[in-house]
Homo-oligomer: A and B are copies of this chain.
Amino acid sequence: MSHLSTLQSSSDFLSTTTIIALTIFFSLLCACIIIGHLLEENRWANESITALLLGLCAGAVVLLASKGNSSKILVFSEDLFFLYLLPPIIFNAGFQVKKKQFFKNFTIILLFGIFGTVISFCLISVGAFLLFNRIGVTSLNTQDYLAVGAILSATDTVCTLQVLSQDETPFLYSVIFGEGVVNDATSIVLFNAVQSLDFNNIDAMISLKLLGIFLYLFFTSTILGVVAGLLSAFIIKTLYFGRHSTDREVALMMIMAYLSYMLAELLNLSGILTVFFCGILMSHYTWHNVTQSSRITTKHAFATMSFIAETFIFLYVGMDALDIDKWKASSASAGTFIAVSSTLFALVLVGRAAFVFPLANFINCIRRRDGSNIAFRKQFIMWWAGLMRGAVTIALSYNQFSNSDDKDTQDSALMITSTIIVVLFSTVVFGSITKPLIEAVLLRHAKPNVSDATDIPSLDDLRIMFIENGEPSDRGENQQAAAGPRRSSLRLLLTHPTWTVHYLWRKFDDRFMRPVFGGRGFVPFVPGSPTGASNEASRT
């Protein structure tokens, strides 16, 4: 029987390590989905925490099985994360976001996402610089401190968004969600800027230059995303793919979205912003040009891919946390670990508080006449939502501290492990408190039937409906009844600039864009857009 065993043992010619790693990962993914489903009603757990804990357990098992030598099955690779896992998540975020709410709160989102992140970055950098010497971490240089600031400014709002509902609290959802996307882009841009700065040749003009670069990146990335989205709409509308095959439409949408990300990265722009705006444009135009089957397929397929990528990342971070080599390399005492981690964590808490509350109150001052104040309760949730740290933090931390040739490896390893502790602690502990906390803060004080005071269909909402020329909008039937007093619209335009922008955009969209690129009203209308209120839409 020797032949038989020889034949079987070499019956495949793929590398066995890869197959084992993939098998374990996909088994764990399966387990995550099933356990996440079973724990759906549980108030403390959610999918992210399940994946993280399951990853930790699997890492522990591997560590024990290898007798303490290694817990690595796959090495954490930035390429895997930035090239394959992040794009579907961000694209789906843009594709499923409620565009009206998002653009209504666009100013607040930009203020929090850009200005807020920069404040947090400065505070964490300065804080780390002042405090680390006292703990005993001495070998870091200026660039490292600035990098720490950028790394820990990257929030992960997935946990909070899993709890908030896009339908019940649209204002909070759109602001926290939008801030999350802009924050990712801002912190990555900041990180790149820090990495490439020449610290021997620093001058006062540097911050102005940084601002210039940031604005350049922001606008070019957005424009690239918009162009990619419009191009896909134009191609599918002109060539009418549905005539031959639904699959080709879906394939083209997927590939063009991915291509926009790659192209942005190739041009050294922010792929995240590009693919996010590409998603928004695709759901506004392209989605309406495809067949009904393609609409359902894209809506769910993109959400599924994003869901898998998200779970995969948390699983990955969990498994990677027990990397024994890194813990050994840092060779610090438990006290140092705790000191560094809790310092970082305190800086995160303070850094976020330092911009959320001032900025929110600043907005309140400006918008006083609107009567739509951001209550303290909401400010608290906005602060809380950005405390969790996730995969972007880990990926950036690896990039800064892992393959550093000229640096003190001990302190570098300490920084990586401390970052991992911050990520694990914030996700597991803070993540599991999030659901009960938000329920307590929001629902206990909610008026009956209205959980989010800013989002009562207010006078403004009724006003915009007058302006909309009676076209059916998302709200439903009630605006049709109120469409009487049209003569007052000019006065409203003057007193409400936000609505003016929206009104002009709608006019421009209807007259120039939709005839060329398609969109609702210019192709047969089908109920249930990708932003429609379904149970899937509430996941980012």
CB distance from A50 to the nearest CB of B (A): 12
Q: Is A526 an interface residue (CB 8 A)?
A: no
Pick out which of these stretches binds chain B: A259-267, A431-439, A509-517.
A259-267
Cα(A269)–Cα(B9), bound, Å? 10
Q: Give Cα distance in the complex from A247 to B258, angstroms.
A: 20
Number of interface residues of A (CB under 8 A): 83
Alpha-carbon distance between A34 and B88 when the two chains are bound, in angstroms: 22
Q: Establish whether residues A304 and B8, one from each chain, have CB atoms under 8 Å apart when the complex forms.
A: no
* A286-307 CB contacts (< 8 Å) to partner B: 293-294, 296-297, 299-301, 303-304, 307
> Across the interface, do A196 and B10 meet the contact criterion of CB distance under 8 Å?
yes
A245 in contact (CB, < 8 A) = yes
Judge whether B244 and A195 touch: CB under 8 Å: no
Other-chain contact of A14, B11, B83, B256 (Cβ < 8 Å): B83
In the complex where A12-B265, A250-B304, A308-B251 touch, is A30 in contact with B259 (Cβ < 8 A)? yes
Q: How far is the CA of A241 from the CA of B83 in the complex (A)?
A: 30
A26 to B271, CA, bound (A): 15
Cβ distance A174 to chain B, nearest Cβ, rounded Å: 21
Q: Which of A78, A195, A247 has most chain B Cβ within 10 Å?
A: A247
Across the two chains, which residue of chain B brings its CB closest to A242? Answer: B535
Which of A103-111, A206-214, A408-416 touches B?
A206-214
Residues of chain B contacted by A27 (CB below 8 angstroms)? 259
| Contact (Cβ within 8 A) A307 B247 | yes
A6: Cβ under 8 A from any B Cβ: yes
Chain B residue nearest to A192 in the complex (CB): B11
A12 x B192 contact (CB < 8 A) = yes
Q: CB of A23 within 8 A of chain B?
A: yes
Q: What are 8 of the A-B contact pairs (CB < 8 Å)? A: A3-B198, A10-B195, A12-B192, A14-B83, A18-B79, A245-B539, A250-B301, A250-B304
